[in-house]
Structure 1
Amino acid sequence: MIRGIRGATTVTNNNADEIVAETKKMIEQMAQQNDVDPELIASVMISVTPDLNAAFPAKALRLIEGWKYVPVMCMPEISVPGSLPFCIRVMMTVNTTAAQNQMEHIYLNEAKKLRPDLVQE
């Protein structure tokens, strides 16, 4: 069965190093909390708000050991008035036997506001 794991985080500035570092942190937590083996990842899609263009956040995956062949794609998030700025969102699809309600979605920094019902402290 293929399941989706969601993640989102924010950065404080449109800074390449911060974009990559925060994306890496989020992806690693998504994998760890869901016991994800990179061999079982179907794909990772990453979107960024229009105010982030200093780096491709997909670069973060290439910094994680064993993730060399994981398919990843970046895209812009739609610009909705009043939406959370400096936000990076991820949809990771994985092959798993876990039930939908067992997926641990990761929201970090200001992105915790997006899904307070899913945030674990």
Structure 2
Amino acid sequence: MGNARLYGLRGAVRCQNDVADIGSRVAELYDALITGNGIDEADVVSFIFSVTPDLNAANPAAELRKSGRGLSLALFAVAEAPSEGALERVIRVLVHCYAEEGNAPRHAYLNGAEALRPDRAVRPGKRRG
């Protein structure tokens, strides 16, 4: 990688409180961030997940590993601080990765989580203008 810098990618996904849905939604979020930003897993430093208190069926970091993704990455999950009126059933992520300087980060808000950051929501295949 030529002139790389460290970026922070944000993302979130809503899901049901069951192991299968948490696993599939976290894999979908991972794929959207990695593919959407054209980065290799080798360029990723860490994935830090936060989970709303109503999602307790599975740990998103463990489910990502079960999917065969992120096996060599630093993955960490924490409980989201509860707040009045917060969107329920949400897994958020902050990804630290290296990418070519000048790349515009493509954040991923999926399955209803677009409501959290409509200014950053990008449909697959579309760039913010």
TM-score by length of 1: 0.91
Corresponding residue to 2:11 among 7, 13, 28: 7
Amino acid of the residue matched to residue 27 of structure 2?
K
Residues 54-98 of structure 1: CA deviation (Å, up to 9, x unaligned): 001112432245x31111000000001100000000101001124
TM-align CA RMSD = 1.3
- Aligned-residue offset at 1:109: 1.2
Is the partner of 1:59 in helix, strand or coil?
Answer: helix
Q: Does the aligned pair in 1 maintain the 2:17–2:57 contact within 8 Å?
A: yes
Identity %, equivalent residues: 31
Tell me the matched-pair count: 118
Letter in 1 for 2:31: E
Distance 1:64 1:34, change over 3 A: farther
C-alpha distance in 2 between matches for 1:120 and 1:45: 21
Unpaired runs of 5+ residues, structure 2, are 124-129
Kindly report which structure 2 residues correspond to 1:26-37, keeping only aligned pairs within 5 A, or say none: 26-37=29-40
Verify: 1:45 aligned to 2:48, yes or no. Answer: yes
| Structure 1 residue runs of 4 or more that deviate by more than 4 Å after TM superposition | none
Q: Which residue of 1 aligns with 2:126?
A: none
Deviations 1:9-33 (A, max 9, x none): 101x311111111011011110000
Per the TM alignment, residue 119 of structure 1 is displaced from its structure 2 partner at its CA by 1.4
Partner of 1:82: 85
* Pairs within 5 Å for 1:18-33: 18-33=21-36
Question: Could you say which residue in structure 2 is the equivalent of 1:108?
Answer: 110
